[in-house]
Amino acid sequence: MKKDAAFIVVALLVAASVCIMINITTVSASWKTEISYGAGGRVHGHVYGFNVYDELVTLSWATVAAVQDGETVETAYSFDGFYEMYLPSGTFDLVVEAPGYFSETRSVFIGDGSDFAIDFFMERNNQPIPEFPTLAIQAISMLSLLATLLLVRKKTRAKG
């Protein structure tokens, strides 16, 4: 009985030690992550574009990418025209893209604790924005034609 109790106590101590080691590793890993990304600043603003009536409107779902040395570091999407991202310190090219508009690029230097408001005004490129792939439009047209032919055939059979 005493051996079983001693075994249980030792097993509990080993389990507690393993849990403590896992927690310490997790805390130190997350602490290092916070330190490495703690410096830097915020970039935010609005993305505007001219619609077909040459009215300036906010653009939703425009892609704003922060590029540094040819590598995309962070990507944000505009919601009702507004975008926001937190970047580490350094110089970045902000590249904004939206379907139907020319892309636009601006350079920005992010320092520790900086807060930049950068608005983008996109120009239309007059390229049609495809709602469906070309093959889908053809398939829908063919199915509509087939359905019309079947209905016409059914009505002519009913009369004859």
Confidence (pTM) = 0.58
Phi and psi based region of residue 140 (left: phi greater than 0; alpha: psi -120 to 50; beta: remaining): alpha
CATH of residue 108's domain is: 2.60.40.10
Q: Are 118 and 51 within one domain?
A: yes
Q: Are 78 and 6 within one domain?
A: no
Number of domains in the chain: 2
Q: Are 29 and 46 within one domain?
A: no
Is the residue at 154 inside a domain?
no
Residues 35-58 have pLDDT tens digits of 345 589 999 999 999 988 889 999
Residues 12-42 have pLDDT tens digits of 445 555 445 545 444 444 343 333 455 899 9
Instruction: Please tell me which residue, 19 or 75, carries the higher pLDDT value.
Output: 75
Q: Which domain holds residue 113?
A: 40-122
Distance CA 49, CA 24 (A): 50
Q: Are 13 and 74 within one domain?
A: no
Q: Are 49 and 56 in contact (CB under 8 A)?
A: yes
Q: Are 58 and 108 within one domain?
A: yes
